[in-house]
């Protein structure tokens, strides 16, 4: 096992334990501050009706899915990844890469697809990324990705749907 694998496994385990504790604590809050507004808004009940429990936890409450659990992590076909909350095209398969972290990773979002904010949930600042249209939490952006951007958009697979190129408009 490589040192990188051990480090990522430890980090994924820590993130999973932290998320499990957070989910069990009942101290969940809506993902976005009331002062933010998005094109698509729904009540909590409406979101719960259209999303699975796991999708709701990630998109609306900023949870994190367990590493290496998303089938989209291994998706290799050409196409577009859309927001699971509002179907906005977010990422092209052309920008997807295998980061070895256990989550679908991209070096760049589609134009005008995502928004960001600073997240301090793990004490240190991280760049949280969300759907610009519905505000759904997608994951985080790190500065350890490949060229040309040097970014790694580490995205929860349950926050996405995949449309193969034949079905995709992008």
pLDDT tens profile 115-127? 999 888 888 899 9
pLDDT for res 6:
57
- 160 domain-assigned: yes
How many domains are contained in the chain? 1
Q: Which residues make beta-bridge pairs with 120?
A: none
Q: CA–CA distance from 138 to each of 2, 4, 89 (Å)? A: 28, 24, 13
Whether the ω angle into residue 164 lies within 30 degrees of 0, i.e. cis, is no
In a domain, 35, yes or no: no
Please write the tens of the pLDDT for every residue from 15-55: 444 444 444 333 344 445 445 789 999 999 999 999 999 99
CATH number at residue 116: 2.170.150.20
Q: Is the residue at 127 inside a domain?
A: yes
33 assigned to some structural domain: no
**48: containing domain:** 3-27+40-164
Locate 165 and state its tokens. 């190129």
Q: Which residues of 103-117 are buried (b: 16+ CB within 10 A; e: fewer)?
A: bbbbbbbbeebbbee
Q: The pTM is what?
A: 0.78
Higher-pLDDT residue of 70, 16: 70
Q: Is residue 20 part of a domain?
A: yes
d(CA 48, CA 35): 22
Residues belonging to the active site: 154
Q: How far apart are CA 123 and CA 19, in angstroms?
A: 14
């Amino acid at each position: 096992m490589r040192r990188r694998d051990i480090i990522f496994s430890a980090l994924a385990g820590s993130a999973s334990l932290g998320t499990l504790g957070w989910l069990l604590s009942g101290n969940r809050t809506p993902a976005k501050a009331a002062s933010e507004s998005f094109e698509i808004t729904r009540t909590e009940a409406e979101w719960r009706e259209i999303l699975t429990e796991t999708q709701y936890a990630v998109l609306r409450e900023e949870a994190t899915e367990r590493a290496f659990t998303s089938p989209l992590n291994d998706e290799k076909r050409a196409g577009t990844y859309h927001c699971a909350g509002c179907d906005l095209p977010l990422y092209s398969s052309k920008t997807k890469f295998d980061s070895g972290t256990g989550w679908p990773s991209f070096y760049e979002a589609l134009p005008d697809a995502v928004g960001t904010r600073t997240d301090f949930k793990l004490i240190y600042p991280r760049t949280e990324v969300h759907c610009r249209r519905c505000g759904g939490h997608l994951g985080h952006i790190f500065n350890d990705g490949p060229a040309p951007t040097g970014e790694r958009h580490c995205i929860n697979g349950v926050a996405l749907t995949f449309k193969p190129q034949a079905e995709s408009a992008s």
